[in-house]
Structure 1
Amino acid sequence: MGLVPLKRKRTHTGSNQLLLQLMIVPALLSMLIFSYLPMFGIVIAFKDYNVLNGLLGGDWVGLKHFRELFADERFHNALRNTLAMSGIKLVLTFMAPVLFALILNEIPFARFKKWAQTLTTLPHFLSYVIIATLTMIFLDPKGMINDLLQGMGLVDRPIEFLSESGYFWLLGASLDLWQETGWGAIIYLAAIAGINTEIYEAAKVDGAGRLRTIWHINLPAIKGTIMVLLILNIGSLIYGGSNFNQSYLLGNVFNRDTSYVLGYYTLDNGLLQMRYAFAAAADLFQSVVSLFLLLAANWAAKRINGSNIF
């Protein structure tokens, strides 16, 4: 009796891989059109740009716009406010998602955990116009916060939160803490979920409590994620994330000394005063500083504990 050869199953690995690779083409085209091609516009930062002459028209002026930029007192004020706001936010809000993820992971009640995660994630999806409107309502001299403070006897008269410049930086950090903590915790919860359960069982057998388990198992498991996000956050200090939204929507003539940031400064010069070349120079300055901060943070992280992103 002869052996009957088995038919080999035809694989479609090649076609599947091609299909998967084609799926990233729209994203690559979008990046090319909206991120790389506009970089050609950098040249107007070094030219006497005029809209009628186009990008290639106008005389070269070298570093003229940068010299004007560094000599402008408004730029110095905007730079100080940007770095101060971003620094305060980094210190006060960066570790909040980590702590929240660790606490949420220890909650044994699945339904409560889902509700807590949902309620803390929802603020991330709110428009900043809505957030600014609610902030102005609550922080009004006749609003809920002042009523509460006066009712508890903590203050004698209403506090002008949005009219006194001293509160703006801390207010911005508080809004970020409320809006982004739940959203930022998602990536840490995903990293914690990937930990082998046998490690927890071994730690329990050895008599490790919850705090020791968090310190010796959970934190080391998410250390790489923490370092990557820290590097990216340091790299974006000069842009400041939500700084522009807060400055544009909550800033006013009374708190301008602390609310005027680089994003608003660039918009003010570019669109309102139509100094397009000057605004391009200001934005290019931010990009160069961001790149330097990113490289410096990546180098420092690699030297300290071997974690880096490239």
Structure 2
Amino acid sequence: MGNDRFAIELHEVTKRYPGGITAVDALDLRVPPGQVFGFLGPNGAGKTTTMRMLVGLVRPTSGRIRVLGQPPGTPAELARVGALIESPAFYPHLSGVDNLRLAVRYAGVSDSAVDRVLAEVGLTGRGHSPFRTYSLGMKQRLGVAAALLKEPSLLILDEPTNGLDPAGVSEIRELLRTLGRRGRTVLLSSHVLGEVEQVCDRIAVIDRGRLVADGTPNELRAALGDGALLIAADPVDKAAACLRDHPGVRAVAVVDGRLQVTADPSLAAALNRLLVEADVDVRELRPVRHSLEEAFLELTAPERADPERETTTTGGSR
């Protein structure tokens, strides 16, 4: 453990709570430095428990963790880590600026960092308003600002766009891209799969406390298989009959006037030629590209669960 090739390393990490609740179950995870790394899973998967263990707020029951080469919660680790885990907590009667000025005292940085981080998250114009007047989205932005005060090497963000309007989501998304381009490592937990797909270099999916997938967005989509073609052709019934006769076609369905063909995409040219020779007009023919959402739902489907583990891996940890 402690290999400099990884910003985060977990080896067989387990967290059990009283009452037999297993939130994290023998989790192995490695996050390379300088990447925006997505951390996905349904509610109860163990995401937030894992993040809390990374900053020393929760101790694992067993296993080993290293963050930037250090044990979690040590001064050497925390000096280089910024985190927003669950809802940000600030003094409601103080302004955003004053809340951050208090935070810099604990972070050991200059007050000049306050203006910098407020600008980064788009809160300069509301910095002097009381925190209690902030919308949910503004509170999230202030939480991200606090996490950025130390200019951390590693940023751990749990649902940072929760409550943001589309413009706010876009701003935070661009901020995450910028952080990645500058060489910072970002561990991002989010339920907004489109956001994750757009900003993350790599993604890990956990379910019931265990890692079920780890790869680039393209790799996770490809795991579903690329065995479908979408064809728009006239007359559609004649096209369907021709395609069903081809030995490489496993199934044909007509959906909204188009043909969904279960076949190897490498057959696209041959199927196009078959239809043209049968006097069928082909208006469109392309492979079906699976979405990250489809991959996520497949990877976390209930039928994939081990029935023997379901009795012990329960509870409301994320």
Task: Note whether the superposition's TM-score is higher than 0.5.
Answer: no
TM-score by length of 2: 0.19
TM-score by length of 1: 0.19
User: Which of structures 1 and 2 has the larger relative contact order (alpha carbons within 8 angstroms, sep 6+)?
Assistant: 1
- Write 1 or 2 for the structure with the bigger share of strand: 2
